[in-house]
């Protein structure tokens, strides 16, 4: 549903898509109807296309999405998407994943 807009090469389109996802997460608190595969796919695409290669606004929106998902109890989905991206061949993506891990650790601690 959001993946084609996240994968778009135009930064403004990515930024608008991430803003829509932030609003969607804030309004739609019940994730039981959404499959885990979709959340993992959204997180993986955010890490690969938006956070690692994006502008500053895109990075802050991506971090906000991950923090909101982490707060709503999607920890296992976030961790599995991070683990799937950490061994990427592109070094920018791997460095972006490590930066996301450090940001999540700064915000939520090691527990």
Q: Please, what's the b/e burial string for 71-110 (b: 16 or more CB within 10 A of its CB; e: otherwise)?
A: eeebeebbeebbebbeebeeeebbebbeebeebbeeeeee
Q: Which domain holds residue 63?
A: 55-111
For residue 111, being part of any structural domain is answered with: yes
From residue 50, how far is each of 32, 62, 73, 94 by CA, in Å? Answer: 26, 7, 22, 13
For residue 38, being part of any structural domain is answered with: no
For residue 45, being part of any structural domain is answered with: no
Give the pLDDT of residue 29: 67
pTM summary value:
0.85
Give the pLDDT of residue 50: 84
For residue 65, being part of any structural domain is answered with: yes
Q: For the chain, which residues score pLDDT lower than 70?
A: 29-34, 111
Give the pLDDT of residue 32: 58
pLDDT, tens digit, 9 for 90 and up, residues 44-71: 888 888 887 778 888 999 999 888 888 8
- As for how many domains the chain has, the answer is 1
């Amino acid at each position: 549903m959001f993946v084609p807009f996240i994968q778009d090469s135009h930064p403004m389109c990515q930024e608008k898509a991430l803003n829509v996802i932030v609003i969607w997460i804030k309004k739609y608190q019940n994730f039981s109807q959404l499959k885990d595969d979709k959340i993992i796919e959204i997180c993986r695409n955010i890490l690969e296309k938006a956070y690692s290669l994006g502008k500053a606004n895109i990075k802050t929106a991506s971090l906000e999405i991950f923090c909101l998902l982490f707060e709503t109890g999607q920890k296992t989905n976030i961790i599995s998407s991070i683990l799937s991206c950490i061994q990427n061949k592109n070094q920018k993506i791997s460095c972006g994943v490590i930066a996301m891990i450090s940001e999540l650790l700064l915000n939520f601690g090691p527990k």
